[in-house]
Structure 1
Amino acid sequence: MTTTQTETPKRGTVTFDRTYPATLEEVWELWTTKDGFESWWGPEGFSVKVHELDARPGGLLRYDMIASAPEQIAFMKQAGMPLATPSSLTYTELTPQSRLAYRHAVDFIPGVAPYNVSSVVELRAEGGNVRMTVTIDTMHSEEWTKRTSMGWESQLRKLDKRFQR
């Protein structure tokens, strides 16, 4: 397994690159099924409960992000944020086992007007591995872009552990 993170502030995106000893089908399922998504989404110390997953362009993914570890619970309380936050994303593109894109509603930050960020996930078979590249929009501030990047690294560690062989 390899991993790199590249920040490109001038373009307004952050890219995460991973290579896993897996099949395209295995990785695709993690992004497009309730069980798959719930098994890894969210930073460490958080879990998710999926309420709706309609994996097609225009389809919705609605879920709750739930702080479950003591450190995350304390952080959320200190930040004045609820322990469980409803979240949603709208799929904008799906090419099976190759590419998906979505818009994620950012409506959970106190004092910040809601807005959307876009993300693109690209999967490529490379020998017996799958290379996964995730490109996300930056957030409204450097601080929140850093928090989001740390959150992505944390949730991707869940996938790293899943695919360790």
Structure 2
Amino acid sequence: MKTIERTVSAQPETVWNLWTTPEGIVQWWAPDGFRTDVDSLDLRPGGELVYTMTAEAPEQVAFLEQNGLPLSTPSRKIFTELSPANRIAYRSVIDFVPDHEPYEQLTVVDLQPTAEGTRVVMQVEELHDDVWTERLLAGRANELENLARLVG
């Protein structure tokens, strides 16, 4: 497991709500230049978050089109643990890697109250190789940056 940490200037309850509601997720989940639409959310262990990420910025659209990739990508996460304002754990369905069988990857997020707000500690299970793991870590770090900017 790899760990990414970030302190954000919001209480754990606020961070929880931004992470576990469609209204919250659409505000910060997507990387820069993309939009996230929540298709369905069943917030319970064994429940799923299904969302679609769509490129909107001209440079992202151009990159995807030049590489023959779709502008929108559906994604699924299956919740494994939910402790309000404390812990969110989910398995992401990794079904977008060319020439690789789909598999699941675990992410565990702990929300720890601090004087400044909330310390977000994200433990991320590595993907099938170092290149894809680095891409995943960059994406998760971008998510936390977007979250910090939103609540900052």
State TM-score, norm by structure 1: 0.86
- Cα distance change of structure 1 residues 88 and 139 upon mapping to structure 2, 3 Å threshold: same
Is the contact made by 2:9 and 2:148 (CA closer than 8 Å) also made in structure 1?
no
Per the alignment, residue 9 of structure 1 pairs with none
Q: Which runs of 5+ in 1 are unaligned?
A: 1-12
* TM-fit CA distance, 1:127: 2.4
Please state if 1:111 is matched with 2:96. no
Question: Do the aligned partners of residues 74 and 140 (structure 1) sit closer, same or farther apart at CA in structure 2, a change above 3 Å counting?
Answer: farther
Q: Which runs of 5+ in 2 are unaligned?
A: none
Aligned to 2:68: 80
Determine the structure 1 residue equivalent to 2:111.
Answer: 123
Q: TM-score if structure 2 supplies the norm length?
A: 0.93
* Identity fraction in percent: 43
Read off the aligned partner of 1:157 and give its amino acid letter.
Answer: E
Deviation at 1:58, TM superposition (A): 0.6
The answer to whether 1:158 aligns with 2:146 is yes
Structure showing the higher helix proportion among its residues? 2
**SS of equivalent to 2:28:** coil
Q: Which structure carries more relative contact order (alpha carbon 8 Å, separation 6+)?
A: 2
Answer with 61-70 or 155-164: which moved more: 155-164
Calculate the aligned-residue CA RMSD, in Å: 1.4
Q: Deviations over 1:12-52 (max 9, x none)?
A: x2211011121111000011100101111121111111011
Runs of 4+ aligned structure 1 residues displaced above 4 Å come to: none
* Separation in structure 2 between the aligned mates of residue 140 and residue 153 of structure 1, nearest angstrom: 19
Match of 2:52 in 1: 64
Please say which of residues 115-124 and 140-149 is displaced more in the overlay: 140-149
CA–CA distance in 2 between the matches of 1:103 and 1:38?
19
